Amino acid sequence: MKRKLSMNYLDVIAWVSRSSPLIGASVQNVYYKDGLLWIKLKPKGAGTVALVAEPGRRVHLTRSPPEAPERVHPFAGGLRKYLRGARIRGVKTVGYDRVVELDFERAKLVIELVPRGVAVLLSPEGEILYANEYKEMKDRKIKRGEKYKPPPGPSWHPFEDLGGLEERIKRGKDVVRGLIIGQKIPADVAEEVLFRAKVKKDKKPEELTPEELEEIKKKIVDVYREAFGGKAYLAKAGLPVAFEPFYPSLLAAQGAELEEGDLDDVLDKYFAELSTEEVEEDVEERVKREAERLKKAMEEQKALAEEYKRRSEEYAELASLIASNYAEIEELLRKSEGEHVKVSIDGREVVVPKKKGLDEYVRELFAKSKEYEKKYKRALKAYEELQEELRRVEERVREEVAKEKARTRRKEWYEKYHWLITSSGLLAIGGRDAGQNEAVVRRYLEDDDYFLHAEVQGAPAVVLKGKEAKEEDLREAAFLTACYSKAWKEGRGSVDVFYVKGSQVSKSPPPGQYVAKGAFIIRGKREYVRNVPLRLALGVELVDGLPRIIVGPQELVERRSVAYAVLVPGDTEKRKVAQKLKKLWASKVEDPELRGLIEGIREEEILERVPGKSKIVRVAVPMKTRGGPRGEEQSGAGRRD
């Protein structure tokens, strides 16, 4: 049994129909992290609950929301500004697709569950205030200040508008695909309907009897009504394989174990166990269906082009045949009676109308030939356009799967700090604040390691692991404390960095003195890396085929990256820099899989590596990586023992 990977339209309208307890609930707080939005709610006369929304996949209530993230995402911050303390006034779907609208007192929150969907906060006038992702698509823009336009969807209700079912069902090469493609019935629901109607799903639409068609309509209505009945089912075959707001008799017949429950609880349990690998398969399957549709259209267009070409050649040949035997045919036309004359030329029988003049008839034949030649060229062009669209769709398979795959990367323990791995494979880590400076030195600095610090107040304490560090390693590690120091904010061009052995660093002050949190006593001689330039490279490195952001001097980052950029202190806000970098990197790579990996990087991961307000002075894709993704892992140094 194939697992269900997202809520379909019937699931959505079933959930909305059961959302009345949310009316009047007040918003206590809003959170967003890694594509997941959750809103802490206080319904009237009940305890707190969280509304979980994952664009492109699900929306439901949970009593076990994720832990609040350490940093407030700007999207969550924007929603808090408008929604905190507000009450929900209504919940509804937008159009006939998987789009849910929550109406609050000062704004509306739209959750799109369609592929590539977004979460958008709208003003009462329908303008976009905030979105979890800003982008420009073929048919609409998700941009602040723009009028919101929902994703294109069916213009009819798949479960209520059944008058055109007979014609719509013929759009598929079999009945089940006719229901899915033509009537827009979700795939799992279409199979359930046909199972209940006792109609084979691979039956040809033209072979359906009137009685079978009526039975299909009846079962569509039955399933639709059941979805509003209050029950929901979790189907298991070992692991959960589906959730349905109706009794899934087909799954039961296939041996699935059914667990009845509240729809929110069923959804919560189900998505808790949904694996990323299956989500990748879902993306691939969706795009494969699109490719199948295009291939069918290409076959039809090719056949049409060939027919136009045949007819063009046929008319041209006939006109030439008549023209080359003009005198003979003209003589026969004068002598013959009736409206037409049959003439045998080179073993071929030609019928010539007597009423028209022979000259006019030949011209008419040549005109028809040219007309069909034009149709042939148009059909051929349409075929080539479909071919190009298919190529783009097949590229999108790779791109979309890679995008989902990128989000599965598990971070290493040291990635919560500033970090880099030097040319020799040594790990350098630095604190993001005074507390982390303290932790880095206390936990990881050993006597033979190196301690580095920029000659400026407000700089990371950096630990370079490894007693055999070379001059190059020390210079590379110096970039961490230099570029993430206050010197960047001050707009300096360079800064000196000192380093000592770990044995020279202490938290024990002389008697009567105090050492502040994140500060240390340095004893003995200091060595220096002079004039470390405030010029930081950020790159996309692939580790086991998954992307992560690395930083350091340009020569280090360039060697290891599939795409990189160089930053200097500037005036552009960090988030805008992060957004621009991701967009520029993706636009510069040619391979769709690599492009998908870059697009799948979380914006926050890039943001936390940007030192402060910056200017991008270089963006590049090394020539050796343009052909496609690499997956080599760097030296094992830096792994935690």
Mean pLDDT, residues 90-103 taken together: 95
Mean pLDDT, residues 420-425 taken together: 95
For residue 7, give both structure tokens. Answer: 């809520």
> Is the pLDDT score of 511 beyond 80?
no
Helix (H) or strand (E) holding 538: strand 536-543
What is residue 334's predicted lDDT score, i.e. its pLDDT? 78
For residue 577, being part of any structural domain is answered with yes
Are residues 522 and 437 part of one domain? yes
- CA 451 to centroid of chain Cα atoms: 42
Q: Determine contact, residues 341/334, Cβ cutoff 8 Å.
A: no
For residue 639, being part of any structural domain is answered with no
For residue 458, being part of any structural domain is answered with yes
Write the CA distances from 326 to 345, 350, 369, 577, 599, integer angstroms.
11, 12, 19, 77, 69
Are residues 108 and 236 part of one domain? yes
Q: Mean pLDDT of all residues in the chain?
A: 88
Are residues 347 and 200 part of one domain? no
For residue 641, being part of any structural domain is answered with no
What is residue 635's predicted lDDT score, i.e. its pLDDT? 35
Distance, in Å, from the CA atom of 550 to the CA atom of 564, rounded to the nearest integer, reads 9
Are residues 565 and 482 part of one domain? no
3-state secondary structure 109-161: EEEECCCCCCEEEECCCCEEEEECCCEECCCCEECCCCECCCCCCCCCCCCCC
For residue 488, give both structure tokens. Answer: 């960047």
Are residues 52 and 82 part of one domain? yes
Mean pLDDT, residues 89-99 taken together: 95
Q: Which of 33-42, 146-155, 546-555, 632-641 has the lowest mean pLDDT?
A: 632-641
Mean pLDDT, residues 382-397 taken together: 79
Are residues 30 and 134 part of one domain? yes
Are residues 527 and 430 part of one domain? yes
For residue 443, being part of any structural domain is answered with yes
What is residue 398's predicted lDDT score, i.e. its pLDDT? 75
What is residue 434's predicted lDDT score, i.e. its pLDDT? 87
φ, ψ of residue 284 to 5 degrees: the values are: -65, -40
More confident residue, 248 or 334: 248
Are residues 514 and 544 part of one domain? no
Question: Which residue, 406, 421, 452, sits at the end of a domain?
Answer: 406
Question: Which residue, 406, 437, 460, sits at the end of a domain?
Answer: 406
Assign residue 210 the CATH number of its domain: 1.10.8
For residue 637, being part of any structural domain is answered with no
What is residue 284's predicted lDDT score, i.e. its pLDDT? 59
Structural domain total, the chain: 5
For residue 208, being part of any structural domain is answered with yes
What is residue 507's predicted lDDT score, i.e. its pLDDT? 67
List pLDDT tens digits, range 430-460.
999 888 998 899 899 999 999 999 999 899 9
Question: Which residue, 360, 391, 406, sits at the end of a domain?
Answer: 406
Are residues 255 and 121 part of one domain? yes
Are residues 176 and 256 part of one domain? no
For residue 640, being part of any structural domain is answered with no
> Is the pLDDT score of 43 beyond 60?
yes
Are residues 237 and 88 part of one domain? yes
Which residue range forms the structural domain that includes residue 111? 1-152+227-274
Length of the chain: 641
Are residues 497 and 468 part of one domain? yes
Assign residue 106 the CATH number of its domain: 2.30.310.10
